[in-house]
A and B are shown apart, each in its own frame.
Chain A
Amino acid sequence: MSTSTAAYTDKARKVYGRGDTEVVALDDVSIAFDAGQFTAIMGPSGSGKSTLMHCIAGLDELTSGRAFIGDVDLSTLDDKALTLIRREKIGFIFQAFNLVPTLTALENITLPLALAGADPDQQWLDTVVGTVGLADRLRHRPSELSGGQQQRVAVARALASRPEIVFADEPTGNLDSRAGTEILAFMQKAVVELEQTIVMVTHDPVSASYASRVIFLNDGRVVSELTDPTPESVLDRMKQFGE
């Protein structure tokens, strides 16, 4: 397994509000995500896990501290540069509304590439599409796809530009358990077989167990970490923080 770092934070701090209403969402979090790994970030709601992801992904700004994609310091970038980083180096899978309704599945998958004006690497695209099993659905519009299929398109889109890192925010949150299992398996496959890097935010121990490393967040701090988790070990660890 490669040991290079895909993304990391250095004393990442995020504060909402001021004075009496001040809420510390991230409290000097320093953490690194290794390339080629499937990492899950867990924590109860309000623990700061989504904020952490948003800040590393260049969707939100830190109050202090720094976040890096590869060795690029995001705090030094303007909106345009951040957009280009997202387009070229980051893949996204959201919980819902992942797809542009007016575009076909294939167009959605290649959207970040198209926005960059780049031609897709056809071989890689075929591999990705094959991995998520969508070859016969490419001409369909999102409204003609099931929820599970839509998320598979989203996974394929996140991978299509061969990003340095993929962020997934509760990717199975809106799916039934069978479709959810399918998506998690695809993501695992992408990491293991296609050597991709995925960071997934979840509050579900079963989902987290698909990752090779689980980071636990509480009150804006990293409180624990697990490698090679099982649903049970994750659940045990969660109980320690009394959720």
Chain B
Amino acid sequence: MLRTTIRNLMARKIRLVTTGIAVLLGVAFMSGSLTLTATITHTFDNLFVDVFAGTDAYVRGQEAFDASGPGNFGAVTRPRVDASLVSTVAAVPGVKAAEGNLTGYAQIVGKNGKAVGKPGNGPPTFGGNWPKVAAFNAYHLVAGHAPEADDQIVIDAGSADKGDYAAGDTATVLTKAGPIQAQVVGVAKFGEVDSALGSTFVFFTDRAAQRYLATPGKYDGISVVAEHGMSESAVAERIRAALPTGTEVVTGARMTKENQDDVAQALSFFGTFMNIFSIIALFVGSFIIYNTFSILVAQRSREMALLRAIGASRRQVTNSVLLEAFVVGTLAAVLGLGAGIGVAAGLKALLDVIGFDIPATGMVLTGNTVIVSLVVGIVISLVAAWFPARRAAKVAPIAAMRDVAVERADRSRLRIGLGGLVTALGVLALLGGLFGDVSNPLRLVGLGALLTMVGVAALGVLFARPATRLLGAPLERLRGVTGHLARENAMRNPRRTSTTASALMIGVALVGFITIFASSAKASLNKTFDDQFTGDFVVDSGTFGFGGLSPELATRLRDTPQVAAVSSHRITSVELDGAVTQLNGFDPVGLERIADIGIVQGKAADLDATGLAVQEKKAKDKHWTIGSKVPVTFAETGTRELTVRAIYRDHSVAGQPGLNEFVGLAVFERNVPDAFDSQVYATLAPGVSVTQGRAAIEAVTANYPNAKVQDREQYKKAQTAQINPLLALIYVLLLLAVIIALLGIANTLGLSIVERTRELGLLRAVGMTRRQMRSMIRWESVLIALFGTLGGLGVGLFFGWALVHALADQGFNVFRIPVVSLAVISILAALVGVVAAAVPARRAARLDVLRAIATE
């Protein structure tokens, strides 16, 4: 039997190569994304080892709330410590040196007037105090000297290069205290590199750092180096005894580990995101394997029957097919693993292009990646080939005597029944996950989507004939008998047509879904903005939480006579009624004149230093009314009781979604020391034209190069444009699934052509030209592709509809079907059919007529 298997593999090289490529692409993508994730993790791991190399212990404030979760990366959860604690710690026996440590937002402005770095979607832009103890300083000076006065700074070599600065220059630095002028007195490198993973750093004296970045008299924490011979844990133990309540000490090793874990957790989201696309690719690939093996088995049923007739057992026949799949799967998985390294590099480049700057050096291929890729590739191949293998074994020995053995084209009731059941389960799971109250909705939704697609693929056999009949109807008029034949060929084996189309169906379903979802998101955003926003300008920092605009900017806008009302928007992480969330802050009085968020109870003006505004539905769910007390824990000031003072209708303001509650700026001023405005909204005074207003506002923002002044239309456009890079990324990633589907169509056509050799020969003999032959195959391919597209659009439409309605709470108030985009998708899918047909059509056209009709 083994020999037979090997012979078969050799005889069908081309088919199996295409099948193998389908698996290979999926595996390559999976190993590529795993490799990239591992590489990034490894890079950060090393970074933190370097940063904390000289730190034996670290003293810091106790965590006010636990924000360890993938969505809360970088959330500040600890209060700062008093500067006086440094001497206390330094006095502990066994402590060789202790020094306060401070890091915050600062952004250097280049000589060309542009801010260096993009903290919104790139590496962070830090400011900090220059550590005087060398052991704590991951940077070392390559020019100049350390800052000695409050107007002196040291910058990293990367910033010096980008900003075109050298020691001795005067530079502008953006801080929460506004833009400041400082003299660059030194340039430093991080180890051997210019800057740490693309982040920028501005070093101040301790006092200047406290003033510009944090709070006078406070440090983030205290770094400690122990006396020689003293272990990390021993020195930490001694320090612990000396600490006041509310503070804690951890070892340097623990600091390294915590930071590494935080990054790993933040990256887990990225890993999951990429894995979803790997799974999609492999899922689509499994359809190709299933289909190819089904057709191969059908074409070989005489051979299988002969084997059975001469005494091969069913198991031997099944195993011979599975062995073929195993060989194909293994080869594809091994090659895919290798290709994955290239994919990782490609993904990194792609993310860079789209604007997600990813720091990584070298590529790290972990054992985990190797094992997962190989196992997944092989298992997928075996599982997908299992059904055809079973069918091979069921071929009766008598079939060997029959003339032609064709694939059973029946619509087995079992298939329809199972397909219906799986579809129903899928839809239920999907809707349950979206609308129900379940613990892990994302997983349920994913499972539901997967089941729905499998079910619809199985049911496709019911629709293949009528749908291709309908789609092909215009073809006859357009292409005469060639079109007629193409249509008949697409209809002749509904099972094959539907399985082939399924792969594309999945791809199109996802593309269609994303397109509909994005279009609805944009429409919702625009509608909400138009409905509620009455202001004229938005000054946007492009950041969310870390850094932003100095509050000084809003103050200066308030003093501008052309501006009638101003409200700034701030964000901070808090724990609100037991859940970690992003708390928004606005100037409540200004807000009322800028946006109508629909206050249904209470007054915005009542939002004082202890006031809270809650969205209507959330208030109802939580049974909060005006006057209810809600505990809110802030990193710096701990738990405060806020009182509900207003209840409002909208889920978002000015296109910023997730507005389930907000507070007045007074709450921020009391509890959040690092005050940055993420945005500032402005309404012009009566009689001031938009042009005059813009001139007045830009006169203020001229000093803040990170501020972008946008009128209503510009802002709307910018907000909706934010979706585009992500959308582009998803499209590119889904392209993979479409390419695999294309391979599948090509494969099926190739196999069909082998099967129809005689028929094609006959057509050529009675006068079909090569061009007509190519056209016939091409149109058959286009029909299959369009059938898959139609199904895909249907499924995508359903997914989109379900998700948009499930997210009504997040401000999705418009379900929009982007007709033009969907039409473009259909046309592109038809083109996929044309491309897929290229090779098979050429082969069919080159068919040796004589041999084809003479074949016995």
Chain B residues bordering chain A, tally (CB within 8 A): 25
Given contacts A97-B758, A101-B759, A102-B488, contact A60 B850 (CB under 8 A): yes
Interface residue B234 (Cβ < 8 Å from any Cβ of A)? no
Interface residue A23 (Cβ < 8 Å from any Cβ of B)? no
User: Looking at the complex, which one of A79, A80, A86, A107 makes contact with B766 (CB distance below 8 Å)?
Assistant: A86
> Which A residues are CB-close (under 8 A) to B619?
none
A112 lies within 8 A of B770 (CB): no
Closest B residue, CB atoms, query A116: B767
- Report the bound CA distance from A107 to B492 in whole Å: 16
Within 8 A of B (CB), among A170-211: none
B481 lies within 8 A of A114 (CB): yes
Interface residue B839 (Cβ < 8 Å from any Cβ of A)? no
Within 8 A of B (CB), among A127-179: 157
Most A C-beta atoms less than 10 A away, residue of B480, B485, B489, B772: B485
Interface residue B522 (Cβ < 8 Å from any Cβ of A)? no
- Report the bound CA distance from A135 to B763 in whole Å: 24
Interface residue A94 (Cβ < 8 Å from any Cβ of B)? yes
Interface residue A219 (Cβ < 8 Å from any Cβ of B)? no
Interface residue A15 (Cβ < 8 Å from any Cβ of B)? no
> Which B residues are CB-close (under 8 A) to A60?
850
B206 CB, min distance to chain A CBs, angstroms: 86
> Which A residues are CB-close (under 8 A) to B849?
59
Given contacts A54-B850, A100-B763, contact A79 B488 (CB under 8 A): no
B759 lies within 8 A of A83 (CB): no
Within 8 A of A (CB), among B751-774: 758-759, 762-772
B767 lies within 8 A of A112 (CB): yes
> Which A residues are CB-close (under 8 A) to B489?
102
B767 lies within 8 A of A100 (CB): no
> Which B residues are CB-close (under 8 A) to A242?
none
Interface residue B825 (Cβ < 8 Å from any Cβ of A)? no
- Report the bound CA distance from A115 to B771 in whole Å: 11
Interface residue B651 (Cβ < 8 Å from any Cβ of A)? no
Interface residue B484 (Cβ < 8 Å from any Cβ of A)? yes
A92 lies within 8 A of B770 (CB): no
B82 CB, min distance to chain A CBs, angstroms: 87
- Report the bound CA distance from A103 to B491 in whole Å: 12
Given contacts A54-B850, A59-B850, contact A115 B762 (CB under 8 A): no
User: Looking at the complex, which one of A59, A97, A107, A115 makes contact with B768 (CB distance below 8 Å)?
Assistant: A115
Interface residue B806 (Cβ < 8 Å from any Cβ of A)? no
A103 lies within 8 A of B769 (CB): no
Task: Scan A113-130; emit 1 where CB is below 8 A from any B CB, else 0.
Answer: 011110000000000000
Closest A residue, CB atoms, query B772: A115
Task: Scan A89-100; emit 1 where CB is below 8 A from any B CB, else 0.
Answer: 000101001111
> Which B residues are CB-close (under 8 A) to A100?
485, 759, 762-763
> Which A residues are CB-close (under 8 A) to B770?
79-80, 83
Interface residue A77 (Cβ < 8 Å from any Cβ of B)? no
**Interface SS majority for chain B:** helix
> Which A residues are CB-close (under 8 A) to B766?
86-87, 92, 111-112, 115, 157
Closest A residue, CB atoms, query B769: A83
Interface residue A88 (Cβ < 8 Å from any Cβ of B)? yes
Interface residue A84 (Cβ < 8 Å from any Cβ of B)? yes
A97 lies within 8 A of B765 (CB): no
Closest A residue, CB atoms, query B488: A102
Closest B residue, CB atoms, query A108: B766
Interface residue B853 (Cβ < 8 Å from any Cβ of A)? yes
> Which A residues are CB-close (under 8 A) to B853?
59, 94, 97
- Report the bound CA distance from A232 to B481 in whole Å: 46
> Which A residues are CB-close (under 8 A) to B764?
83
> Which B residues are CB-close (under 8 A) to A116?
767
B187 CB, min distance to chain A CBs, angstroms: 74
B759 CB, min distance to chain A CBs, angstroms: 6
Most A C-beta atoms less than 10 A away, residue of B758, B763, B769: B769
A23 CB, min distance to chain B CBs, angstroms: 16
Given contacts A102-B492, A111-B481, contact A86 B767 (CB under 8 A): yes
Given contacts A97-B758, A102-B489, contact A107 B763 (CB under 8 A): no
> Which B residues are CB-close (under 8 A) to A87?
766-768
B677 CB, min distance to chain A CBs, angstroms: 70
Given contacts A94-B762, A115-B772, contact A107 B767 (CB under 8 A): no
A107 lies within 8 A of B759 (CB): no
Closest B residue, CB atoms, query A85: B767
> Which B residues are CB-close (under 8 A) to A107?
481, 484
> Which B residues are CB-close (under 8 A) to A84?
767, 769
Closest A residue, CB atoms, query B766: A112
- Report the bound CA distance from A97 to B491 in whole Å: 20
- Report the bound CA distance from A107 to B766 in whole Å: 13
Closest A residue, CB atoms, query B760: A100
A97 lies within 8 A of B762 (CB): yes
- Report the bound CA distance from A60 to B852 in whole Å: 12
Within 8 A of A (CB), among B461-497: 480-482, 484-485, 488-489, 491-492
- Report the bound CA distance from A81 to B850 in whole Å: 17
- Report the bound CA distance from A99 to B488 in whole Å: 14
> Which A residues are CB-close (under 8 A) to B771?
80
> Which B residues are CB-close (under 8 A) to A101?
492, 759
- Report the bound CA distance from A59 to B848 in whole Å: 9
- Report the bound CA distance from A86 to B849 in whole Å: 12
> Which A residues are CB-close (under 8 A) to B488?
102-103
A62 CB, min distance to chain B CBs, angstroms: 13
> Which B residues are CB-close (under 8 A) to A114?
480-481, 484
B465 CB, min distance to chain A CBs, angstroms: 12
B754 CB, min distance to chain A CBs, angstroms: 15
B762 lies within 8 A of A103 (CB): no
Most B C-beta atoms less than 10 A away, residue of A59, A98, A103: A59
Closest B residue, CB atoms, query A59: B850
A102 lies within 8 A of B767 (CB): no
- Report the bound CA distance from A116 to B763 in whole Å: 12
Closest B residue, CB atoms, query A50: B854
Closest B residue, CB atoms, query A161: B767
B769 lies within 8 A of A80 (CB): yes
Most B C-beta atoms less than 10 A away, residue of A54, A92, A94, A115: A115
> Which A residues are CB-close (under 8 A) to B482?
115
> Which A residues are CB-close (under 8 A) to B769?
80, 83-84, 115
B503 CB, min distance to chain A CBs, angstroms: 24
- Report the bound CA distance from A88 to B481 in whole Å: 16
A99 CB, min distance to chain B CBs, angstroms: 8
Task: Scan A53-65; emit 1 where CB is below 8 A from any B CB, else 0.
Answer: 0100001100000
Most A C-beta atoms less than 10 A away, residue of B489, B768, B770: B768
- Report the bound CA distance from A153 to B491 in whole Å: 23
User: Looking at the complex, which one of B485, B759, B767 makes contact with A97 (CB distance below 8 Å)?
Assistant: B759
Task: Scan B237-275; emit 1 where CB is below 8 A from any A CB, else 0.
Answer: 000000000000000000000000000000000000000
Closest A residue, CB atoms, query B846: A79
- Report the bound CA distance from A117 to B768 in whole Å: 11
- Report the bound CA distance from A80 to B769 in whole Å: 6
- Report the bound CA distance from A115 to B772 in whole Å: 8
> Which B residues are CB-close (under 8 A) to A103?
484-485, 488
> Which B residues are CB-close (under 8 A) to A79?
770
Closest B residue, CB atoms, query A91: B766
> Which A residues are CB-close (under 8 A) to B765?
59, 86, 92, 94
A34 CB, min distance to chain B CBs, angstroms: 24
> Which A residues are CB-close (under 8 A) to B763?
100, 111, 115
User: Looking at the complex, which one of A54, A83, A98, A117 makes contact with B762 (CB distance below 8 Å)?
Assistant: A98
> Which B residues are CB-close (under 8 A) to A97?
758-759, 762, 853
User: Looking at the complex, which one of A54, A94, A115 makes contact with B481 (CB distance below 8 Å)?
Assistant: A115
A83 lies within 8 A of B768 (CB): yes
6 further A-B contacts with Cβ under 8 Å, apart from A83-B764, A99-B762, are A59-B849, A87-B767, A94-B762, A97-B762, A111-B763, A111-B767
6 contacts between A and B (CB under 8 A): A59-B853, A83-B768, A87-B768, A97-B762, A100-B485, A102-B485
Interface, chain B (partner A; CB < 8 A): 480-482, 484-485, 488-489, 491-492, 758-759, 762-772, 849-850, 853
Counting from the closest, the 3 A-B pairs by CB-CB distance are: A87-B767, A102-B488, A114-B481
